[in-house]
A and B are shown apart, each in its own frame.
Chain A
Amino acid sequence: MTAGRRALAFAWRSLVRQPARATLGILGVAAVGALLFDMLLLSEGLVISMRGLLDRLDYDVRVTATDALPGTGPTIDGATGVAAAAAALPSVRSVTTLRIADAAFERGGLSTRGSLQGLGGTSTRRPWTLLRGQDVGGAGELVINEAGARQLGLGPGSSVTVRASCSDQREAAPPVAFRVAGVVAFPFDSPELVTAATTANSLAEACAGLGAEAADFLLVASKGDPTATVADIAALPFALRAFTNEQVIGRLEEGGFTYFRQISAVLTTVTVSFALLLITVLLTVSVNQRLGEIAALRALGFTRARASADIFAESALIVGLGGLLSLPLGVLLAEGLDRILKRMPGIPEQLHFFVFEPQALAVHGALLAATAVLAALYPMWIVARLPIAATLRNEVIS
């Protein structure tokens, strides 16, 4: 048996000898490790989740009128012409214009508020997934999400009256009747928020012609090189800003997503520090209780390194076992916390705060390994510096 395996076997017996101490240490590390794991999942979770949602739409470039994020700035005027010019670029496969208006939906005595999207452009692809019925085919048709269908009791073939608010003054346009072609899922759907979509022309009708040539942003599918597409669009003779998905994510990271990363960094530091203190205290108390034994082993010929290796192995076992236990605990905790956070209004159903990625697991393992090493340093120092003769003498006197 190698010295390392001997130290591990010895440390295992030491842990079994004091089951309460071992259990306390392992459970402590498991709890702290679970929190640590969750903080690591949180630090990148929103970014990964948002990237997944953007990529799922199959559009890799977004175009707005200003540097504002899509949907938050002024509209693009003359959107049809802009879309046609963009679609003619050699690096572009297709372009969709998207205009979003606030709207009130009414059916029978039921009514609810939400948003109505109007899609135009050269693309036949739709930024949603059809669940029931058919896609928007012609004028006067819309698709609606599950929240809208549920709240108004709608299904394919139903009629719904829409009062769109298309100006900054939020004045509602005259009511327009639409036929529900199908029920769909939008990538950024939230459980309670009603979203419907129709063609750009139908939305223009619902807006009584107001802003008929405007779009909030364009969704562009490149032919494989979104960076080139962004450059091509920037060269068009329009005041436009184009962003790849990665650039959109980068801008989100500079904004609100930073808070989660900062919170995660602070809580990671706190949890690692707590684990470090817990294991250091447990090992130090254990070593101090066994000074006589350790001195006797040293007298019998155990080297300093060997006696210290036992303490390190004990730390590694406590942290290793606790760390393993922390993973399933962390996953369960992350699911619970994700559900709580997603109850915040306006959070898309498909967006997750805690997302697993292999790098988080690697960082979790590395941080716990560093904790095991650092936690063992002080008790190892006690063992290494232990004066054998004085300790044996003190043990007899005490």
Chain B
Amino acid sequence: MAIIDASNVSRVFPMPAGPVTAVRGVSLTIAEAEHTAIKGPSGCGKSPLLHMLGCVDTPSAGTLLFDGRDVSALSDRERSLLRLRQIGFVFQRFFLLPMLTAAENVELPQAEAGVPPGERRRRSRELLDYVGLGARADHRPSQLSGGEMQRVAIARALANRPRLLLADEPTGELDEATGEQIAALLDRVNADGTALVIVTHDHELANRARRVLTMRDGRIEREDTR
């Protein structure tokens, strides 16, 4: 069954000079455990599409169903809880909270979801081991390298066992070697059963996906499947 079923979705942003259409009539589905990459030049609408897929934004037109539910019909609180329990986000700039340790950053979404303290501590250790940072659980973000911070961010995104992981330029701030490590880690996350959608400029990272969508001017111009 599809986790996401987007049908003819568009996103228009009102601007002082007039409305700008960032996404035009896109239709796609994201199935369980699928690995999809969305690539294209800057301003082609990749991130706005990802934000709609992640339910942080709603389409101006068209229908986007998450698990069969129309996202536009959900309240802000319902969309927040949907994101908390079903979707993980990895950002280009990590957005770890600097005052928390790596383990505490991973615990944060679990605490929000009401996971008991003992269980979330166990889960955080397990996830930090999974991303290879078990020994750095008590380090704060300022004591970690860029690659390590992105690993913690991936662990945080996985904290509530999401069905869908969305990554917006996850290697954009990393050097090539570190980016390769992160890409491999994301492959592993997908191989372990989490559906993965990556937005990237990086052709190598995009080409690791089984399905690659190329966007231009807000439309999916091309779809390649391996």
Give the interface of A toward B (CB within 8 A).
Answer: 1, 6, 13-14, 16-17, 292-293, 296-306, 388-390, 392-393, 395-396
Contact = CB atoms under 8 A, between A and B. Distances in A.
Contacts of B73: none
B191 interface: no
A250 B82 CA distance: 64
Given A17-B99, A292-B93, A304 B76 contact: yes
A285 B82 CA distance: 30
A13 B56 contact: no
B83 A392 contact: no
Q: Which of A292, A300, A388 has the most CB of B within 10 A?
A: A300
B98 to A, nearest CB: 6
Interface of B: 13, 47-48, 51, 54, 56-57, 76-77, 80-85, 87-89, 91-93, 95, 97-100, 108-109, 111-113, 117, 156-157, 160, 168-169, 172
Contacts of A393: 47-48, 51
A292 B83 CA distance: 17
**Best-surrounded residue of A6, A293, A299, A396 (most CB of chain B within 10 A):** A299
B198 to A, nearest CB: 15
Given A300-B112, A396-B93, 13 more contacts: A17-B98, A296-B91, A300-B156, A301-B82, A302-B112, A388-B51, A389-B51, A390-B13, A392-B47, A393-B48, A395-B93, A396-B168, A396-B172
Nearest to A303: B80
A6 B114 CA distance: 11
B113 A301 contact: yes
A303 B81 contact: yes
Nearest to B153: A296
Nearest to B86: A301
A226 to B, nearest CB: 63
B77 A304 contact: yes
Contacts of A302: 80, 84, 112
A36 to B, nearest CB: 31
Contacts of B89: 296, 299-300
Nearest to B100: A13
User: By DSSP majority rule, is chain A's interface helix, strand, loop, or mixed?
Assistant: helix
Nearest to B48: A389
A162 B95 CA distance: 87
A14 to B, nearest CB: 6
B111 A6 contact: yes
Closest 6 CB pairs of A and B: A301-B84, A296-B95, A17-B99, A389-B51, A389-B57, A388-B56
B80 A301 contact: yes
Contacts of A14: 99
Contacts of A6: 111-112
A303 to B, nearest CB: 4
A388 to B, nearest CB: 4
Contacts of A301: 80-85, 87, 109, 112-113, 160
A113 to B, nearest CB: 69
A20 to B, nearest CB: 14
A303 B57 CA distance: 14
A299 B50 CA distance: 12
A297 B109 CA distance: 9
B112 A306 contact: yes
29 contacts: A1-B111, A1-B117, A13-B100, A293-B95, A296-B89, A296-B95, A297-B95, A297-B97, A297-B108, A298-B56, A298-B80, A300-B83, A300-B109, A300-B112, A300-B156, A301-B80, A301-B83, A302-B84, A302-B112, A303-B76, A304-B77, A304-B80, A306-B112, A388-B57, A389-B48, A389-B57, A395-B93, A396-B92, A396-B93
B159 to A, nearest CB: 9
Contacts of A13: 97, 99-100
Contacts of B13: 390
B56 A389 contact: yes
Nearest to B95: A296
A303 B111 contact: no
Identify the interface centre among A296, A301, A306, A390: most chain B CB within 10 Å of its CB.
Answer: A301
B4 to A, nearest CB: 16
Nearest to A300: B109
B8 to A, nearest CB: 19
B67 to A, nearest CB: 15
A392 B99 contact: no
A72 B25 CA distance: 91
Nearest to A387: B57
B99 A299 contact: no
Contacts of B47: 389, 392-393, 396
Nearest to A304: B76
Contacts of A392: 47, 51, 56, 91, 168
Nearest to A301: B84
Contacts of B85: 301
